[in-house]
Structure 1
Amino acid sequence: MSNVYMNRELSWLKFNERVLEEAENPEVPLCERMTFVSIYQSNLDEFFRVRVGSLQDQMLISTEIRENKTKMTSAEQIRAIIKEVKKLNQRKDKAYEKLMKKIEEYGITLINHASAKSEEKKFLEKYFMKEIMPLSSPTIVGKRQPFPFLKNGEIYAVVVLETRNKKERIGIIPCSNNMLTRMVELPGGKGRYMLIEDLILHYIGKVFKGYKVKGKSLLKVVRNADIDADAAYDEDLDYREFMEDLMKQRKKLSPVRIDLSREMDETVVDALCRYLDVTPDRVFRSEAPLDVSFVFQLQDLLRRNTELFYEKRVPQKSPEFKDGQSILQQITQEDKLLSYPYDSIRPFLKMLTEAAEDDSVISIKMTLYRLAKQSKVIEALCEAAENGKEVVVLVELRARFDEENNIRWSRMLEEAGCQIIYGLEHYKVHSKLCLITRRGENGIQYITQIGTGNYNEKTARLYTDLSLMTANEQIGMDATRVFQALAKGEVVEDMEHLLVAPKCLQSKVIEKIEEQIQKQKNGETAYIGLKMNSLTDKRIIDKLIDASKAGVKIDMIVRGICCLIPGVEGETENIHVISVVGRFLEHSRIYIFGNGEEAQYYIGSADFMTRNTVKRVEVAAPVYSERLKKRLQDLFDLMLSDNKKARKEDAKGTYSVVECKGQPINSQELLYQEAYAKAAVNSSNQLEAAVQQTENKVIE
């Protein structure tokens, strides 16, 4: 049955290939294509830091560790990754070169020294001598000057120097400096620029006078970021201070990749590999700049050319809520659902602010994973605590690459009087759960919010996510039990309504898949629809294969990693998998079991990855409102019909763009058009209602 499984890491690379396809797609506006080149590169860096770093660590433990689906060893996976990345990087370089040529048509040119005019060369030399050289910090590696520490992701100019007695030495200069601009503008106002690292590399010989330059290149190191906080933690230490120290340690972890801008002599490359403790197969040569994040500066220069960008889209006022009425009161009347980025996050923020000020609110409890730099959520929680509410906040300090932000937020919340919990031992808390408890007319009342994405105002404009708000008492009581367990450093063993990892999400999902299998065997219509970022959980995968064999129709929208290969005869022929990669990052999770009136709908924070289903605290909530069930089904069906940004996976694990037959359907664009239309109708209706109310008062 191994032909139905795909290796997790290679599947992720196929996802990043789909990102690269958007950079190559002539239908995508030019400047947006540049963004996709940058996303491809930053994605790849993080992949090496986290996933290749993890595989590298596994090899230190044992060379015989095999992943549980394709049975590849860590070494085999790394070899396969390197082979695939080298092919993809060649495509990235070609895409970048093609895009830069098109950008030149709009009056912006990135030059190298060879293409500079004589007067420009004079300016560049003078600029180097006056602005750069005084700030440079050169190193010549030798017995008395060890090889310097190279920071993750930063660019360095490396030069091979020959001494007077014909000995070779390595010289290094950092190219990153907060005092220097990345793009050096040439005089004349003709839109000609040179990257600072290219300028440094060209004139590097002036820094190392007395030596002959034998070879040179730009270099970037990507360092391992895989560090196990739980394994390193000493209970006698303050956890927050321990995490701060751990972040310092991570910056010094061993390299997992070296990027070079030029070919260098094999002996030099071998020497660099020895100094950095990297094998030569981890050295990658790049024609494109080693860091293409400067494309955002390019975009600013071209902002007036609106045709080079996506049409401006702004999250719209949701028709779920009426102006001038209490948000909390509206939720008690009926369940509400926000769909980002099409709907604005403002009703949720307003709900928090209202709860902070409402005398009937007793407590607010939340789990926080990633937040915006200027967070309105934090402001509301601090205000609530200062107003005397009980505010309990679980701040996950192990949210990778957001640890420092979360440490800062935890301090601010604590100073405002909030009770802070720093996650659970061995389990990251990744759930998006908020519980407001208030005194109602008939006793205690719960307002529960369950989301698929972070409480982050910035990503709510960029990621597709769902946010359910309900006054359902049973869901509120389940949420109460979740927070009680977290406060005690425990996980819940079972739930009545919510699906809660690590103990009662995977098992419940498998039960629901089994229910559909039994329906199919009984001659009833069975169906499973799943939307998520990634699918790697082998227990769930195997149960989905069982369902397919039984004849259950399964539709899956999996943006990223998918370790299940669909369409394999006799195994997964009833499974259909697509991936949607477009303007917005698909991030919402929807689970559908059954169809028609008996269909069960859930939204939640968990992908079907082992790390989510059994190694984290995740929460998925049932959607009981018939109105909202229909909305979820309509959203799911629209994405399934996408023929512009969807790629279909075939029985060989290959993704290809869905053939556009008939009307073109870009699901994200259509959802935004719908949001604008609904907002306009809602605004008109509210205006009419206000006018009618005024007229009635006049008549009275």
Structure 2
Amino acid sequence: MTTTKTPASNYINRDLSWIEFNWRVLQEAQDSTTPLLERVKFLAIVSSNLDEFMSVRVAGIYDQLKAGYQKKDFTGYLPSGLLKRIMKRTGRMVAEQYKTYRDIMRQLSKEGIYITDYADLTATQKKAMDQYFHDIIFPVLTPMAVDQSRPFPLVHTQALYMAVVLTKDGEDPEEEPYFAIVQVPSNLSRYIAMPTRNNSKKHEFVLMEDLIEEHIHTLFTGYNPVAVNAFRLTRNADLTLNEEGAEDLLEEIEKELRRRRWGAPVRLEVEKGMHPYALEMLREEFEIEDNVFEIDGPIDLSFFMKLQSQLEGLAHLRYPAVEPVYPKEFDDNDDIFEVLRHRDVLVYHPYESFEAVEDFIVQAAYDPKVLAIKMTLYRISGQSVLVQALANAAESGKQVTVVVELKARFDEERNIAWARKLEKSGCHVVYGLVGLKTHAKITLVVRQENESLRRYVHVGTGNYNGSTARLYTDVGLFTSNPLVGEDASGLFNEITGYSTPTHMQTLSVAPTNLRHRLEELFRREAEHARAGKPARIIAKMNSLSHQETIDELYVASQAGVKVDLIIRGVCCLRPGVAGLSENITVRSIVDRFLEHSRIIYFENGGQPEVYISSADWMSRNLTRRVELLCPVLDMPLQRMLIRILQISLYDNVKARVLQPNGMYIQREPEDQPAFRSQFKSMNIGLWKRPDHAEAEGLVPRPS
């Protein structure tokens, strides 16, 4: 570690860095070269990202303020000062988001796609919508009055409501008005498709809140609606668990999920021009003053994600469909185990199919020679082939152990359901270690072969989720290397039993030694640089916010190590600072697929080493989670991973480069031809046959 303390000004605050990331997502919604319905999708992602940020990160700052916490973080911010900066920047972001929304709606109208106000409908359309409201919406609505005898009802987090200000027939309109709220039903589609003529290419929708507002008088007979305005509350959604005191962790999490509905208010979104009395009632009830966002458009644009996915016949407004190819190594031989006995295999999602991972588990489940399957599950898809295969394996008598992470944020309920299903089928279900999330992605298959046992292992950078594997970039390693297999057995014994951490021959595991292994590798590169030997670090991940790790990279830079970081989201390291980090570059790629893989390259004096990992370089990953760092020992596979890194570094279309001031600028092609890393990666030969790629001039030769 460094011997002198690094000034706070040499770091970028984590939350402010995250806001810059969400700006980059918004820029994709603004990019006119992005297909229109893909821009709609990015606009929805901005909203869902902000929801999680507010309910977790901003909620945490409010908790600090309530507790009287007055200590600066390592970037120099007090909670109060940080909150003010966050509110200012997110306020600007939301304003820009809705400016983008209006622009996109103008573009959609040219394609025959409209969200129309009720007042602008034709008489025939109004009749159809009136009938829909009467038949479908009205029976579900529940008006909830607020007065002396009826206290303010529970307002659910991130649900849409209508605030209604009323006067009573026959009473003085100058008297204090009446107040009520109505929840917009979340179990009905928020957007209602307008009936169209046969063969019509027009897609017209009305939002449910618009219909409710138009018909609000039907809910309050004898009263006169003065104002009807939409609002939405975000509550603190972080779970607070007493794991050591919980006899049954599963039941404890179920209780906390119910408590989440009562979390402290964090953000209030209100329709622009909300009636002052309604706004005063909401502020007073939720005890919220500063974090109120006035929204100039529909509140919560995340509904756009589902709407755009249901529009049919508009292929010209989307990216061309990509069908992942099945890995050639397995395609030539149906027996995956036979392939792995002779060679390791690397797969790169979403360009290569996740079916290879599913087939590995399914084959193990039905292979009579397989004795045991051990696996970690963090987030899995709704219709998981893997869960059914594991259940079948257990029912057939195999020893099946599944480490299910119940604390995967916002997937807790789904994981509880899978855990119960697996337990019923006879699987040994383990909920990890007390105080630690199990975030590692690893599967171990033990197979009887001749007179001995052989272990087969899959290690990945992404979750065992077939849905996200089509949307996220991740790599996975299949191997029967006995050293990796022994380490995998030791890891599972540590998680499921009382085994103390053993010496690992290949794997590094957080929180035990992964961080220290990284530090050793950083320092080794620095020593090579000081000795005049080749020294370089290239690392690709989602986030970098761990102070000590950043300090080690600063030391490596000062020693002369060239450090190239490819970080999609948060980065607290400040690159390009003279005397500190002038040898470090940071770039972020936000494009069609979510960059999720963690790959690390060390030049090592001319003897390169390459690793894949489940861990970002954040405090939670290195100190509070079970994570893996796995070396890729096969030389051809090392070259594949190096090529993936080089392709990312060469991107001059979607790459944005972090400046010393904390801002990102778009990397310009300059005199080079445009190179878009994700589109180039769709050519499987580009990274699986690196020599061919260089010969074709598709990517630069290794520097």
TM-score by length of 1: 0.92
Q: Confirm or deny that 1:559 pairs with 2:571.
A: no
Q: Confirm or deny that 1:665 pairs with 2:675.
A: yes
Report the aligned-residue RMSD: 2.1
Indicate which of 276, 280, 304 corresponds to 1:270.
Answer: 280
2:290 aligned counterpart, secondary structure: helix
How far, CA to CA, are the matches of 1:180 and 1:31 in structure 2? 19
| Structure 1 match to 2:260 | 250
Equivalent pair of 1:530/1:592 in contact (CA under 8 Å): yes
Equivalent pair of 2:432/2:496 in contact (CA under 8 Å): no
Change (3 A) 1:206 1:187: farther
Indicate which of 31, 34, 53 corresponds to 1:25.
Answer: 31
Indicate which of 56, 64, 80 corresponds to 2:62.
Answer: 56
Equivalent pair of 1:221/1:259 in contact (CA under 8 Å): yes
Q: State the 1:506 CA deviation.
A: 0.6
Q: Confirm or deny that 1:502 pairs with 2:511.
A: yes
| Structure 1 match to 2:422 | 413
User: What are structure 2's unaligned runs of at least 5 residues?
Assistant: 1-6, 690-703
Aligned pairs for 1:422-461 within 5 A? 422-441=431-450, 443-461=452-470
How far, CA to CA, are the matches of 1:534 and 1:256 in structure 2? 24
Equivalent pair of 1:533/1:559 in contact (CA under 8 Å): yes
2:400 aligned counterpart, secondary structure: strand
| Structure 1 match to 2:400 | 391
Q: State the 1:564 CA deviation.
A: 0.5
Change (3 A) 1:30 1:536: same
Equivalent pair of 2:166/2:177 in contact (CA under 8 Å): yes
Equivalent pair of 1:341/1:462 in contact (CA under 8 Å): yes
Equivalent pair of 1:424/1:489 in contact (CA under 8 Å): no
Q: State the 1:676 CA deviation.
A: 10
How far, CA to CA, are the matches of 2:605 and 2:60 in structure 1? 44
Q: Residue type of the partner of 2:46? A: Y
Change (3 A) 1:33 1:284: same
2:683 aligned counterpart, secondary structure: helix
Count how many residue pairs are aligned between Structure 1 and Structure 2.
675
Change (3 A) 1:601 1:141: same
1:27 aligned counterpart, secondary structure: coil
Deviations 1:228-268 (A, max 9, x none): 22x36534x32222222221111221221111122224453
Q: State the 1:349 CA deviation.
A: 1.5
Q: Confirm or deny that 1:224 pairs with 2:232.
A: no
Q: State the 1:678 CA deviation.
A: 7.8
| Structure 2 match to 1:692 | none
| Structure 2 match to 1:591 | 600
Change (3 A) 1:450 1:297: closer
Q: Residue type of the partner of 1:577? A: V
Q: Confirm or deny that 1:291 pairs with 2:300.
A: yes
Aligned pairs for 1:352-367 within 5 A? 352-367=361-376
Q: Residue type of the partner of 2:283? A: C
Of 546-555 and 300-309, deviating more is: 300-309
How far, CA to CA, are the matches of 1:51 and 1:490 in structure 2? 35
Q: State the 1:620 CA deviation.
A: 1.3
Equivalent pair of 2:10/2:75 in contact (CA under 8 Å): no
Q: Residue type of the partner of 1:22? A: E
Change (3 A) 1:128 1:434: closer
How far, CA to CA, are the matches of 1:470 and 1:133 in structure 2? 58
Indicate which of 98, 101, 114 corresponds to 1:93.
Answer: 98
Change (3 A) 1:137 1:586: same
TM-score by length of 2: 0.92
Indicate which of 649, 652, 656 corresponds to 1:643.
Answer: 652
Q: Confirm or deny that 1:234 pairs with 2:265.
A: no
1:515 aligned counterpart, secondary structure: helix
Equivalent pair of 1:186/1:194 in contact (CA under 8 Å): no
Q: Residue type of the partner of 1:6? A: I
Of 266-275 and 155-164, deviating more is: 266-275
How far, CA to CA, are the matches of 2:499 and 2:281 in structure 1? 50
Q: Confirm or deny that 1:133 pairs with 2:130.
A: no
Deviations 1:583-612 (A, max 9, x none): 000000011122575111110100000100
| Structure 2 match to 1:200 | 212
Q: Residue type of the partner of 1:435? A: L
How far, CA to CA, are the matches of 2:189 and 2:318 in structure 1? 28
| Structure 2 match to 1:155 | 160
Equivalent pair of 1:425/1:489 in contact (CA under 8 Å): no
Change (3 A) 1:631 1:179: closer
Indicate which of 259, 262, 266 corresponds to 2:269.
Answer: 259
Q: Residue type of the partner of 2:88? A: K
Indicate which of 604, 613, 622 corresponds to 2:631.
Answer: 622
Q: State the 1:200 CA deviation.
A: 1.0
User: What are structure 1's unaligned runs of at least 5 residues?
Assistant: 680-700
Q: State the 1:2 CA deviation.
A: 2.6
Of 351-360 and 173-182, deviating more is: 173-182
Q: Residue type of the partner of 1:94? A: K
How far, CA to CA, are the matches of 2:339 and 2:593 in structure 1? 29
Q: State the 1:670 CA deviation.
A: 1.0
Of 11-20 and 597-606, deviating more is: 597-606
How far, CA to CA, are the matches of 2:11 and 2:451 in structure 1? 54
Equivalent pair of 1:493/1:504 in contact (CA under 8 Å): no
1:636 aligned counterpart, secondary structure: helix
Percent identical pairs in the alignment equals: 37
Equivalent pair of 1:63/1:75 in contact (CA under 8 Å): no
